[in-house]
Structure 1
Amino acid sequence: MIPLIGLLIGIILGIVLEPSLPAFLQPYLPIAIVAAMDAMFGGLRAFLEGVFTDRVFIISFASNVLIAALIVWLGDQIGVGAQLSTGVIVVLGIRIFTNVAAIRRALFHA
């Protein structure tokens, strides 16, 4: 229940405060969102398999976002940012779909 209350408070604060993202960070936002989604679905999968630990989830969440952003930033520095962004999205997308498939099997035994 507490996570849902936190999510609601976050949504309300976002609507009321209307935060803006500096232009130099905007290319990294989609990558950070996909990396966060990967950690979220991985955490849900671990929960359903009975091996979830909050410490591992927090470390996974933060490291996924930071490493994905670092890869894209490095790509920007050497002039191949779009290609590395696509690579990060593809890899994390595969992981997300793998986790979702495992979640579906756990929930529906299919």
Structure 2
Amino acid sequence: MIPLIGLLIGIFIGLFLKVNIPNIFAPYVPVAILAALDSVFGGVRAGIEKKFDTEIFVSGFFGNIILAAGLTYLGDRLDVPIYLAAVVVFGSRLFNNFAIIRRLLIERGREKIKHKEEQL
């Protein structure tokens, strides 16, 4: 629940407050956001599976962001698009976590319907 609340707060801040990002950081922000979303979806998945651990979530959240930004920075210095590795990995994990979350919610819904039918 904590990751979802954080995501909603971030969306609210992004929509209603004017936040200007300097051009120097422009290449890093999208990759960092993708890494952060990967962590949020992983946290939501862990919450649904009743395995959520705040320390793991927070360390993964900031670790993913730092790793993604670091790869982007290194790629800029080497003039090689290394950030694509982060985009591919975090993007695929994001879609994978979304698919698992969707399946878990559908299964939970089916179980509730079955349980109600058994009570009748």
What is the TM-score of this pair, normalised by structure 1?
A: 0.83
Q: Does 1:65 align with 2:71?
A: no
Aligned to 1:92: 90
Aligned partner of 2:69: which letter? A
Name the CA distance, whole Å, in 1 between partners of 2:46 and 2:102.
13
Name the CA distance, whole Å, in 1 between partners of 2:36 and 2:61.
6
Aligned to 2:118: none
SS of the aligned residue for 2:27 comes to: helix
Q: Deviations over 1:42-100 (max 9, x none)?
A: 000100111001111111110000000001100111110xx212221111111011111
Name the CA distance, whole Å, in 1 between partners of 2:88 and 2:20.
27
Name the CA distance, whole Å, in 2 between partners of 1:88 and 1:52.
24
Aligned to 1:7: 9
Aligned to 1:26: 26
Name the CA distance, whole Å, in 1 between partners of 2:31 and 2:13.
24
Aligned partner of 1:7: which letter? I
Q: Larger radius of gyration, structure 1 or 2?
A: 2
Name the CA distance, whole Å, in 1 between partners of 2:66 and 2:23.
18
- Map 1:15-54; keep pairs closer than 5 Å: 15-16=16-17, 18-54=18-54
Unpaired segments ≥5 residues, structure 2: 111-120
What is the TM-score of this pair, normalised by structure 2?
A: 0.77
Shift of 1:19: 2.2
> How many residue pairs get matched?
105
Aligned to 1:108: 106
Shift of 1:13: 7.9
